[in-house]
Amino acid sequence: MSDAPKAQKKSGATRFHRLAKREGGITLDEAIRRADEFVSTVKPKYLDWVAEDVRSLATALAALSGHAPASPKDLDTAFHGARKIRDLGTTMGYPVITIVASSLCDLLERFKGGNVYSQPAIDTHMSSLLLVSSSAYDDLQQTVKDDLLPGLRRVVDRFPPTETPRES
């Protein structure tokens, strides 16, 4: 017979479950309304945040420029910068920012996976990011989505995907 301790199972109900089911509270519709109101109060600051993030990303990418092969550490730094931009765009009502940043993340991952670093591919993405994160071109979001994104996709597809660990 094995001496290994047997698995134990107990109820997973916690304070959270008890508190959540009390009288009162908030419905999904009310929650969405309040969340949207909150986002609208923060939205005016968002493009300033993105502008700062894009500047930081540009600095991180500058460290990669002219170095072959690209340093994994620098690629990671750039990747996290792009990811930071990606994570908020859709939430803040700028899905195109998320999609362009996501494309850049994808591209950087392909470089991390062994593809040769390409400055033109990076520049194309950074120019796109500057375009979609500029309030001056707010009215062009749909045009950008329709026309620019397929082009970025084709740029990324020039570098074969690789299975690399995404955590760093």
Partner 1 sequence: MTKPTKINFSGMSALVADANAAFLTIIAGMLYEFGVSNITRATTGEQALHQFSVQQIDFAFLDCFLPGINGFDICQRVRATPGPNQMVPILILTSHAQRDNVVRARDVGASMVMIKPISGSMLFDRLAWAAENARDFIMCANYNGPDRRYKNESFSGIGRRETDKGKGGEQRGSSMSQAEIDKLSTSFS
Residue 49's nearest CA partner among 136, 138, 135, 141 is: 135
Residue 79's nearest CA partner among 56, 103, 109 is: 109
One-letter amino acid at 10 equals: K
What track of x and - describes contact with partner 1 for positions 73 through 112 (by CB under 8 A)?
A: -------x--xx-xxxxxxx--x--xx-xxx-xx------
Determine, following the binding rule CB under 8 A, whether residue 3 of this chain makes contact with partner 1.
no
CB of 68 to partner 1, least distance (A): 26
CB of 90 to partner 1, least distance (A): 4
Q: Which of 1, 3, 10, 139 binds partner 1 (CB under 8 A)?
A: 10
Residue 117's nearest CA partner among 143, 165, 79 is: 79
CB of 66 to partner 1, least distance (A): 28
Write the secondary structure of 115-149 as one string of H (helix), E (strand) and C (coil): CCCCHHHHHHHHHHHHHHCCHHHHHHHHHHHHHHH
Judged by DSSP in three states, 90 sits in: coil
Q: Which residues in this chain contact partner 1 in the complex, by CB under 8 A? A: 4-17, 19-28, 31-32, 34-39, 42, 49, 80, 83-84, 86-92, 95, 98-99, 101-103, 105-106, 161, 163, 165-168
